[in-house]
Structure 1
Amino acid sequence: MITDIIYLHGFLSSPQSEKAQITKKYFSQFHPEIRVHTPTLPGVPNDAIAVVEDLLQVLQSANGHEEATKMDTPISVAFIGSSMGGFLSTFFAERLGCKAALINPAVTPFDLLQEYFGEHQNPYTSECFNVDETTVGMLRQLNVEKLNSQQNYLVLLQTGDETLDYRLAEQKYGTEYCRIEQGGSHAFDQFETRLDEISSFLLSKN
């Protein structure tokens, strides 16, 4: 039974992003028994992974798994991930065997970030970090080449995504598990209208 959902935001975003806030508000209103966590993810991939692992450890302890290691499965957790957060959610969903709902997920961010080499500042958190070959190497290490359980994913895609090619996600996650809308944008237009489907998928016992 799912008791906790972890929302992972995208590159140069934060828990203050519109989708993160809409998600928290939705579950607070319609599923108040579910705790939604929106950790602030650093720009360095390995640091972002460490933040989520620490959160998982806290949740495991709270659920009575005091002896669990960081990567043991807290069976009560699921993920929602947007863009880069979708890539990271896939990493954790595969490691933990849990469900994840992905919104316009980055499939090969290590290829995309080649165009973003240099220093960046997160507009929400003011964090400064560099994107370079080391960053690309970290992302390649986190990449899941082949999914163990495609049925654990619900993937929402819009063909008008100006940042990512939705067809890459369709190919990786499988057409059966993708919901493809014509038009839209990378931010995923009218995201709030899809939260009923997202919550039904994540909270179902199947």
Structure 2
Amino acid sequence: MILYLHGFRSSPQSFKARLLAERMQQLGRAAEYLCPQLPASPAAAIAIAQNCIQACDPAELTLIGSSLGGYYATWLAEQLGCRTRAVLLNPAVKPPRDLEQYIGVSTQYHSDQPFEFKREYIAELQTLQIDRITRPERYFLMAATGDEVLDWQEMIGHYPQARQLVIQGSDHGISEFAEYVDAVLAFCGIASDRASTSAAGT
């Protein structure tokens, strides 16, 4: 089972989320992929994620988190124990700091629907902070040096000894993600005849 957690202001309609859904469909494993719409409240987002995976064996679960979703995925992986894997796509490392500027009303990227990011959500984010990961071998970090939103070096430092793939250039959304989707799925334990050798990382 794969649970994809999208980023701040994003949705299941994001490029990476749709690409993964399409690839899982092609492999005949669409039923093993979930990507819920997450609310602005971090506590509520985590509750939805936990509800999605409550019946899943942690050893059969991989979390994929993009940006803020990577922050959520890290917390969930640490709570679920050493058997759960996590793929982190340009993950947010310090969202309590980075999202201060978004307190107030914002709009979603894919619908322009307004939503409110409340000050109390910063405290909710703080409760999810993981200062140091355990079992780094269960993490796969993809970090783009051209990320215009988050600091890729901060990502690298936060996931020491994890499998790391540093993409030279690119952007926050990893616009060439199609080149890496099979490497991500290979880490999830889903074989593909197009699996990329780039999964080896550095």
Q: Same fold (TM over 0.5)?
A: yes
Which residue of structure 1 aligns with residue 9 of structure 2?
Answer: 12
2:151 aligned with 1:165, yes or no? yes
Counterpart of 1:190 in structure 2: which amino acid? E
1:143-196, CA deviations, whole angstroms, 9 ceiling, x for partnerless residues?
111111111110111100000000111001126521101111000121011111
Identical residues among aligned pairs (%): 32
- Cα distance in 2 for partners of 1:130, 1:186 equals 21
CA distance in 1, matches of 2:22, 2:30: 13
Cα deviations by residue, 1:66-98 (Å, 9 ceiling, x for unpaired): xxxxxxx53321111100011101111111121
TM-score, normalised with respect to structure 2: 0.86
Q: Deviations over 1:103-149 (max 9, x none)?
A: 100011111012222222324462522232x1111111001111111
What letter corresponds to residue 137 of structure 2 in structure 1? Q
User: Is the CA contact (8 Å cut-off) linking 1:8 and 1:39 kept in structure 2?
Assistant: yes
CA distance in 1, matches of 2:25, 2:168: 30
Q: Distance in 1 between matches of 2:51 and 2:43?
A: 12
Q: Is the 8 A contact 2:5 2:66 kept in 1?
A: yes
Aligned pair 1:152/2:149, yes or no? no
Residue 103 (structure 2) aligned to one of 117, 120, 123: 117
- In 2 relative to 1, CA 123–9 (structure 1 residues): closer, same or farther, beyond 3 Å? same
Q: CA deviation at 1:40?
A: 0.6
CA contact 1:159–1:183 (8 Å) conserved in 2: yes
Partner of 1:29: 26
Corresponding letter in the other structure for 1:200:
A
Distance 1:144 1:31 in 2: 35
Which segments of 5 or more consecutive residues in structure 1 lack a partner in the other structure? 64-72
Structure 2 residue aligned with 1:200 = 186
Q: TM-score, normalised by structure 1?
A: 0.85
In structure 2, list runs of 5 or more residues that go unmatched.
191-202
Asked if structure 2 preserves the Cα contact closer than 8 Å seen for 1:5 and 1:34, the reply is: no
| Residue from 78, 85, 88 that aligns with 1:94 | 78
CA contact (8 A) 1:87 1:105 kept: yes
Please point out which of 120, 123, 126 is paired with 1:137. 123
Root mean square deviation of aligned Cα: 1.8
2:63 to 79, 96, 106: 79
Alignment correspondent of 2:43: 46
Change (3 A) 1:175 1:158: farther
* 3-state SS, counterpart of residue 19 of structure 2: helix
